[in-house]
Amino acid sequence: MVSVKDISNANNLSQQRRRCWLYNVEQMPYKIAWEWQRSLVAERINNPDVDDALILLEHPPVYTLGQGASLDFINFDLNQTKWEVHRIERGGEVTYHCPGQLVGYPILNLRYYQQDLHWYLRQLEEVLILVLSVYGLEGYRIAGMTGVWVEDRKVAAIGIKVSKWITMHGFALNICPDLSGFEQIIPCGIVDKAVGSLEQLIPGIDFNQVRQQVAVAFAEVFNVELVRTN
């Protein structure tokens, strides 16, 4: 027989929120952030009880290719380029990072959420859709693709890697970047959709305010307690 106390304890457990350390970082070279992520993932693989983490930052101009990305989507010679390029372990095709784009790297143990990668991708999209709604913008998904669109323009890209249910890599939201860097590639391998930014829709949008809204939406969607580190 289940007692009132048992029900109460079960409800308390279901309502408990994971603690997630929030690292708000200024511009950081891609390779340094990449190594940082790897170290955070390794720490959590060795000790699954360690709190989750969310890194929010910007990168200097850099191109990244997913582990299976096709070079057909790059419009420059990798052997004669001035661009910084990295092939990394996430899924997806080629993308571009630069200042004015907010990049988010959640380091989550999905055993505490849902052990379902499709669920996780949809949750990341939901975070960004919630942020857009704050500004009166209707973000939406496209079936069979990953990311978030507004008015036929892709404003957010997502690419992840999961090791022993610990996540790394994440999302990139175009707030006020110089979009010309995307002209050197076919972003995410999508030939019939343009890349856009929030600034195109809301001139003068405040980057740091959007960063704060992303943190709020992330805490809401994943039901975590964000602990700021700075």
Determine the pLDDT at residue 6. Answer: 37
Q: Which helix (H) or strand (E) holds 42?
A: helix 30-46
Instruction: Look at the domain 17-228 and name its fold.
Output: BirA Bifunctional Protein; domain 2 (3.30.930)
Structure tokens given for 53: 């983490």
Q: How confident is the chain (230 residues) per 10-residue block, as mean pLDDT?
A: 34 66 96 97 96 98 88 78 87 91 98 97 98 97 94 94 97 96 77 86 97 98 92
Domain ranges, ordered by start, for the chain: 17-228
pLDDT recorded at residue 192 = 64
pLDDT in the model for residue 17:
87
- Annotated binding site for substrate: which residue ranges? 90-97, 157-159, 170-172
End-to-end CA distance of the chain: 48
Backbone angles phi, psi at 50, to 5 degrees: -65, 140
Sequence-ordered strand ranges (E) for 108-223: 148-150, 153-163, 166-174, 194-195
With tokens 């305010």, the residue in question is 209
In which residue are the tokens 């052990």 written?
115
What Å distances lie between residue 101 and 14, 26, 96, 142, CA to CA?
Answer: 35, 11, 9, 21
The Cβ-side half-sphere exposure at 110, using a 13 Å CA radius, reads 20
Output the known binding site: 90-97, 157-159, 170-172
User: Using CA atoms, how far apart are residues 27 and 111, in angstroms rounded to an integer?
Assistant: 31
pLDDT for the residue 7: 29
CB 164 within 8 A of CB 45: yes
Hey, which residues are catalytic here? Answer: 188
* pLDDT at 66 (0 to 100): 87
